[in-house]
Amino acid sequence: MLVIRPMDRHVLEDVAMLIAREHRDARNRQPLIPDTFDDPQTSHEMLLDLLAAGFVGVVAVDDGRVFGAMCGKTIDDVGFVPAHGLAVEPNHVNPTTIVVQLFAELAPALLDDGASRFTIDHVASAPLDTALSNLGFGRTGVFARRDRRPIGTSPPVDVRIATPDDLDAIAALSHIELTYRSSPPVYAPTKPGNLAQTRALHERLFDDGALHFLASHDGDDVGLLTVEFTSPAPRLCPHGQPYIGPTATHPSVRNKGIGKALVRVVVDWAASDRHETISVDFESANPRSRPFWLGLGFQPTGHRLHRAIEVRHQRRPRPHRAND
């Protein structure tokens, strides 16, 4: 019989083995999923980091064997479960049963900490897709990856690597895209909320070593592609490899190949800089992003899911205690 128990250091080795097993199964279907988490030691170290950062977890055990694990933390008002804190035995006949029982045990703790909605990242795996859908989660984002093979021809566009002197142009383009994402049918929250905040975001990206590629047309900066080197989901898109962050094309030049030209230049740059792959994430509901990135050879490695909690089920945040 399946029993749910707390995730602690005594079961981390078994959980790490489960993550590695699930990960290898997923990579058999999608080779572009990073291979780092095939190694249980990597998963073990990441789980230790999660627990040290205040994440809480639960495991599903049957006859002494771990069949599922879920580890999360409330961040602002979001109960967040990262991909390296979630795994289900890939050959289990009913993964929905495992996921439902794990979430039923974990969710109240995150609700007590102020969660009003939940976000889960998971590796691209059909059993998990189905189980989480049955639990009421809907897909909101896609993580994807491609190799460094050249993209091919694209319209001739002038592309340069920007400097901090270009921050005004970068912020203006980025803010156009962020505003678009908050409109139908995407309805994504606008983050950051105004032009000054967008500029501050890109200042931080410069400070963190990100590269900004700007495309120009008739002397105006009309396209942006940002390359970062840290990943928001290391199990799905590896750290250290180029990760495409904020991108944008000015509405006046859409459908002229500006975006494709930017990606082609970045792919060529990555190959010349000896990077093996490039990653990106995009909203599932974005009618521009999905066909664009998949059409350029990016293949899904994982997904981001969302579920809101009705007000009557939400709990008040626990009062702060001096010994917390």
pLDDT in tens, 6-25: 999 899 999 999 999 999 99
What is the pLDDT at residue 319?
Answer: 52
Under CATH, which architecture does the 3-136 domain have?
3-Layer(aba) Sandwich (3.40)
Global pTM value: 0.92
Q: Which residues contact 217 (CB under 8 A, 6 or more apart)?
A: 157, 158, 223, 253, 256, 258
Which residues of the chain fall short of a pLDDT of 70? Answer: 190, 192, 311-324
What does the alpha-carbon distance between residue 315 and residue 7 come to, in Å, rounded to a whole number?
A: 23
**Token representation of residue 314:** 């939400």
Cα gap 181→130, rounded to integer Å? 27
Q: How far apart are CA 84 and CA 86, in angstroms?
A: 6
CATH 2.20.25.10 fits 146-301, yes or no: no
The C-alpha atoms of residue 295 and residue 260 are separated, in whole angstroms, by: 10
**What's the pLDDT at 321?**
45
C-alpha–C-alpha distance, residues 149 and 156, integer Å: 19
The predicted pLDDT at position 315 comes to: 60
> For position 178, what pLDDT does the model report?
87
Q: What is the pLDDT of residue 187?
A: 81
Residue ranges, comma separated, of all CATH 3.40.630.30 domains in the chain are 3-136, 146-301
